[in-house]
């Protein structure tokens, strides 16, 4: 006797259950949006000299043409807010949203809570490209050279993984994962070789880049990353219903009209785009794409119409708070943010493995 497949919450429970699920999801999204605003204001208010949160909000409102709230009283506060702190806060939120959305897509495509964007090699490919620029002092795009090469390296590595995993017009999930593991091993070896070739200063720069940092973010970089993240998140929302149907299994999804192979290809391209946009300017930031979508799924269920926007907001909140921690944990020091996310994500990953073992590796 066979057991019926488990459906995503907003697919399986009928119209009334769907309304309740989406209503609860909207509440979660609203709460995360409020949390993001609070986190951004708190992060912008904190620094070498503190600025009251009310003055931070007042500065933003006055820039929007609203004569509300007090303006900063410190003579350098306004300049510091708009040229140093706000670009960093906005970039942090964008990168967090990009990585978490990419993680939600990966987990939906693979049907596994342990999947994360690094599986397809985008982060390791970006790291090798960035290290190559640093070691050989390439400068064809000026100060943008590392970012351009990291973005291209991530996309190319993902394309290589996908092409190598494809056979007879189809891509099996297990084959894609194993191919990604092999390519990640090769890129890790390449990165180690580049570290061996590098001099002391280049080696330190590579190590710092691979640990991730949002220090020195500028509005020009924000303007490049913003459209990529917006397009990626919007496309993920468009694919939400098909991802819900994919949770039924490949055969059932095909029966209801889903082009499974095309869906996987589009999702992997979106994952590469979002992750490459995230790491190009900030370096490798681990575990955001693993932790956030899984936590949101535990709270709101697996329906992607709620999961995708909630993951984007949750990733932004998490990374803004992590960056605040990185700037304030040690006086006059800016810790690598990737180190802090790994510090939190590592224990979570162990917990997730134990939980998956208890459910026979099932999709919770």
Q: Can you list the positions of beta strands (E) in the chain?
A: 166-167, 170-171
Domains of the chain as residue ranges with CATH: 9-40+87-358 (1.10.3470.10)
Which one is predicted more confidently, 321 or 121?
321
**Lowest-confidence segment of 99-103, 168-172, 177-181 by average pLDDT:** 168-172
The rounded distance, in Å, linking the Cα atoms of 55 and 77 is 9
Q: Can you list the positions of beta strands (E) in 174-296?
A: none
Which one is predicted more confidently, 174 or 160?
160
Share of the chain above pLDDT 70, in %: 90
- Contact assessment for residue 186 and residue 194, using Cβ atoms and an 8 Å cutoff: no
3-state SS, residue 362? coil
DSSP state, residue 355? H
Q: What are the pLDDT digits (tens) for 36-50? A: 999 999 999 998 888
- Contact assessment for residue 344 and residue 287, using Cβ atoms and an 8 Å cutoff: yes
Q: What are the pLDDT digits (tens) for 14-34? A: 444 454 455 667 889 999 999
Q: What are the pLDDT digits (tens) for 295-352? A: 898 888 888 999 999 999 999 999 999 999 998 888 788 888 988 888 887 787 777 7
CB-count exposure of residue 95 (10 Å: 0-12, 13-18, 19+): buried
Which one is predicted more confidently, 65 or 197?
197
Three-state SS string over 239-264 comes to CHHHHHHHCCCHHHHHHCCCCHHHHH
**288-300 vs 14-45: helix crossing angle, rounded to 10:** 140
3-state SS, residue 171? strand
């Amino acid at each position: 006797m066979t057991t019926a497949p488990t459906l995503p919450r907003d697919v399986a429970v009928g119209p009334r259950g769907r309304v309740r699920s989406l209503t609860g999801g909207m509440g979660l999204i609203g709460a995360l949006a409020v949390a993001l605003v609070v986190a951004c204001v708190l992060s912008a208010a904190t620094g070498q000299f503190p600025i009251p949160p009310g003055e931070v909000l007042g500065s933003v409102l006055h820039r929007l043409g609203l004569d509300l709230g007090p303006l900063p009283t410190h003579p350098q506060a306004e300049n510091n807010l708009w040229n140093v702190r706000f670009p960093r806060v906005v970039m942090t939120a964008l990168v967090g949203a990009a990585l978490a959305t990419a993680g939600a897509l990966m987990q939906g495509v693979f049907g596994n809570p342990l999947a994360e964007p690094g599986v397809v090699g985008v982060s390791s490919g970006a790291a090798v490209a960035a290290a190559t620029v640093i070691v050989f002092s390439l400068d064809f795009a000026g100060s943008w050279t590392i970012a351009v090469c990291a973005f291209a390296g991530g996309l190319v590595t993902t394309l290589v993984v996908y092409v190598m995993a494809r056979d007879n017009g189809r891509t099996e999930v297990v084959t894609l994962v194993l191919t990604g593991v092999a390519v990640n091993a090769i890129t890790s070896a390449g990165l180690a070789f580049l570290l061996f070739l590098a001099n002391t200063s280049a080696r330190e720069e590579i190590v710092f880049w691979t640990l991730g940092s949002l220090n020195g973010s500028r509005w020009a970089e924000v303007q490049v990353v913003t459209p990529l993240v917006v397009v990626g998140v919007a496309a993920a929302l468009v694919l939400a219903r098909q991802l819900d149907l994919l949770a039924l299994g490949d055969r059932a999804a095909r029966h209801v009209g889903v082009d499974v192979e095309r869906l996987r290809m589009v999702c992997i391209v979106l994952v590469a785009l979002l992750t490459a946009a995230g790491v190009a300017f900030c370096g490798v930031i681990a575990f955001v794409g693993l932790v956030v979508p899984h936590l949101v799924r535990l709270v709101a269920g697996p329906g992607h119409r709620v999961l995708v926007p909630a993951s984007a907001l949750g990733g932004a909140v998490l990374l803004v708070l992590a960056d605040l921690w990185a700037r304030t944990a040690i006086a006059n020091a800016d810790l690598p943010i990737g180190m802090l996310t790994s510090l939190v994500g590592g224990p979570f990953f162990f917990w997730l493995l134990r939980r998956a073992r208890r459910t026979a590796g099932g999709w919770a």
